[in-house]
Structure 1
Amino acid sequence: MSNEGRYLHPAPTYRLVVAGRDITPAIDARLISLTLTEGRANQADQLDIVLSDHDGQLAIPRKEAEIELQLGWVGRQLIDKGTFVVDEAEHSGAPDIITIRARAADLGGEIRKRTEKSWHDTTLAAILATLAKRNDLTHKVDAKLGATKVQHIDQTNESDMHFITRLARKYDAVATVKKKHLLFMPIDGTKNSKGESLPTIEITRIDGDQHRWASSTRDAYDGVKALWNDRKFGKRKEVIAGKKDGNLKTMKETFGSEADALAAAKSELQRINRGMATFDLNLAIGVPELMPQTPVRVVGFKPEIDGQGWLVKEVTHTLGDGGLTSKVQMERAGDEDEKQSD
């Protein structure tokens, strides 16, 4: 990412569209603050807008109104930050203000209704294809993840969205539903909600006004062991993701197949490795291009920080009196794990 013009304090700008109409000119003079929080799961995406109602002429928006947001800097192409649905509104004072809270769209209706289904001898791709079709969604699933064999899993009194989120947790993936499209990708991958590769963004120390790096070996493991029941021979067996000879973490759950056990062990090891180092940055000049899964390279800190690849876990963009700022939470980018089994 080029740094040209980054330090001339450009003017921030935005665009809000409701029901196809650009409402930016109508509310710009009333805007007190706009805050967008983006996380890996749809539930984490939240848009908060605070508007002045000093003259009492501002109408409270209806629930379920859709808001499209673009964010950026004057003279540059605005970044599409997605569509959100109003689910909370508050009027308070004095002075009178209206606070609007909207969350990621495409999370209502059928995908939130609880249902029951059992899945046997299938693949992750087949399960997700069924869920997408049931909710009239297009979908894209990472090929390697999609080929994962699933011997048995139950969806018990559970919504499709909750089940998709649980699958993502189980297989260390990111699952998003945006603009009628389901995306299921590795959590240590670098794809956006359209499945497009995200470019690496370089952040230098001069970009940020505060930072915090933390590293811990307290929960460091060389590998993860998972147990599974071999029904054919009536024995309990084990698989290991990572280094076989070393400090191993043993998972509490016993799995129904070797494939399920190995997938769970790999996912757990990847989570452990990513969490061994974290890096948080407050950017005085916001970078609206930052979103979850964005790969980041940092320059100007300690060698231990600069020498590590980072992956955005959560980012909060705030537009207000302080201009456009970004608060970024990052974790260590994962490495390819070794796999061994007994």
Structure 2
Amino acid sequence: MCLELVDDPALAWPADGQVFDVAMGWEDKLVDLGSYATKHISCSRSPPVLKIECAAVEQHASLKSQRSQGWDSVSLGDIAQAIARRNGLKAAIATEFSKVRIEHEDQTESDMAFLTRLGRRFDAVIKVASGRLTMTGTSRGKKASGDSFTPIVLTNIMRWEYSGEQTKKYTGVRAYWWDEAAAEKRYVLVGKQGVVLELDYNKGSATEARHAAETKFREIVRKGKKFSFTIPGNPDIASERRVLARSVREGVDGEWTVKSVEHVLDSGSFVSTGNCEVDGYKETIEQSDENVD
């Protein structure tokens, strides 16, 4: 998180590592954004701004300490649960990750770096806040409990911008795996036949191959279309939340996933600007089709 404050008159700097709570809103309608610790400070006079970069207080030394460990025959959810326990955190892990099997994985980095690496592979979002480690699916629009967030309807849009590729470079992604019983190579195709991207490495099982292909296809889908908006301030809008655009125009209306958001609150106004991408998970589910040679 980065806070930018008007530095006129000059504000007192927070101490190194100082912990503070952040809430945002208008008048008495505040939304708790969690606890953070000062990480980096910068300031300027034109304009007079004090910028405070901060990190969630739970990302302490134990999460960032180097470790060496092998993980065998466990689920991704089990790994996240174990890491949460040994770092004194409560775990909130989406149930879908209990089905993601890890046959073998070597950890040679910190717990946070390890989970982040696995998150990229399996399209998971890792967050640590308020004494809790959460693992949710990218663009799913769901809580770790599996319950769905209700999309936030965008009203009174002040500015918006859309850009997108109108010709899909790839229609699908193919990942290969080795079938020990049949002693032959098989594959999983996510998407459709046509211009297919083939992953240049083999997986040990059909499940691992499917996860790899789905993750790559979602990445391709998400990079295709972008939408940004500015609306009157709404602190409920946050990264990974879904928003619903209505009556904007054809091609733009529909659900989007927020990737980053900036809230600006000053003496005269409160506005929120979000940058979004399409729901890669939904499109992958709709197009997914397993094929075996």
Query: Could you say whether these structures have the same fold, taking a TM-score greater than 0.5 normalized by the shorter chain as the test?
Result: yes
Query: What are structure 1's unaligned runs of at least 5 residues?
Result: 1-44
Cα displacement (A) at 1:217? 4.0
Aligned residue runs from structure 1 range 299-310, under 5 A? 299-306=246-253, 308-310=254-256
Secondary structure at the aligned position of 1:64 is classed as coil
CA distance in 2, matches of 1:248, 1:233: 25
Cα displacement (A) at 1:60? 2.7
Letter in 2 for 1:310: W
Q: State the match for 2:62 in structure 1.
A: 110
Q: State the match for 1:339 in structure 2.
A: 289
Letter in 2 for 1:128: A
1:80 equivalent in alignment to 2:32:
yes
Cα displacement (A) at 1:317? 0.8
Q: State the match for 2:241 in structure 1.
A: 294
1:323 equivalent in alignment to 2:272:
no
Question: Does the 8 A contact of 2:261 with 2:275 survive in 1?
Answer: yes
Letter in 1 for 2:289: K
1:266 equivalent in alignment to 2:214:
yes
CA distance in 2, matches of 1:146, 1:213: 37
Q: Which has the higher contact order (CA 8 A, sep 6+)?
A: 1
CA distance in 1, matches of 2:98, 2:87: 19
CA distance in 2, matches of 1:195, 1:48: 34
Letter in 2 for 1:69: V
Secondary structure at the aligned position of 1:270 is classed as helix
The alignment's TM-score, normalised by the length of structure 1, stands at 0.76
Q: 2:93 aligns with which of 123, 141, 144?
A: 141
1:169 equivalent in alignment to 2:120:
yes
- Deviations 1:190-232 (Å, cap 9, x if unpaired)? 245887643221114xx23322111214554322101223455
Letter in 1 for 2:247: G
RMSD (Å), alpha carbons: 2.5
CA distance in 2, matches of 1:172, 1:179: 23
Aligned residue runs from structure 1 range 53-64, under 5 A? 53-54=9-10, 58-64=11-17
- Deviations 1:308-328 (Å, cap 9, x if unpaired)? 321111111122355222110
Cα displacement (A) at 1:246? 2.6
Secondary structure at the aligned position of 1:289 is classed as coil
CA distance in 1, matches of 2:275, 2:266: 20
Letter in 2 for 1:48: E
Question: Does the 8 A contact of 1:183 with 1:195 survive in 2?
Answer: no
CA distance in 2, matches of 1:249, 1:95: 48
Question: Does the 8 A contact of 2:158 with 2:230 survive in 1?
Answer: yes
CA distance in 2, matches of 1:193, 1:64: 29
Q: State the match for 2:178 in structure 1.
A: 229
Q: State the match for 1:46 in structure 2.
A: 2
Query: What are structure 2's unaligned runs of at least 5 residues?
Result: none
The alignment's TM-score, normalised by the length of structure 2, stands at 0.88
CA distance in 2, matches of 1:234, 1:73: 64
CA distance in 1, matches of 2:194, 2:72: 35
Q: 1:209 aligns with which of 129, 133, 158?
A: 158
* Number of residue pairs the alignment of both structures matches: 288
Q: State the match for 1:152 in structure 2.
A: 104
Q: 1:70 aligns with which of 19, 23, 29?
A: 23
Cα displacement (A) at 1:239? 1.7
CA distance in 1, matches of 2:140, 2:261: 17
Question: Does the 8 A contact of 2:4 with 2:50 survive in 1?
Answer: no
Question: Does the 8 A contact of 1:291 with 1:312 survive in 2?
Answer: yes
Question: Does the 8 A contact of 1:178 with 1:193 survive in 2?
Answer: no
Q: State the match for 1:12 in structure 2.
A: none
- Deviations 1:95-131 (Å, cap 9, x if unpaired)? 9865433222211210011111121222111111111
Question: Does the 8 A contact of 2:230 with 2:272 survive in 1?
Answer: yes
Residue identity over aligned pairs, in percent, reads: 26
Secondary structure at the aligned position of 1:106 is classed as coil
Cα displacement (A) at 1:168? 1.2
Letter in 1 for 2:290: Q
Cα displacement (A) at 1:87? 1.3
Q: 2:73 aligns with which of 121, 134, 137?
A: 121
CA distance in 2, matches of 1:242, 1:258: 16
Cα displacement (A) at 1:293? 2.1
Against the structure 1 CA distance between its residues 193 and 59, is the aligned structure 2 distance closer, same or farther, given a 3 Å change threshold?
farther
Question: Does the 8 A contact of 2:95 with 2:144 survive in 1?
Answer: no
Question: Does the 8 A contact of 2:89 with 2:133 survive in 1?
Answer: yes
Secondary structure at the aligned position of 2:67 is classed as strand
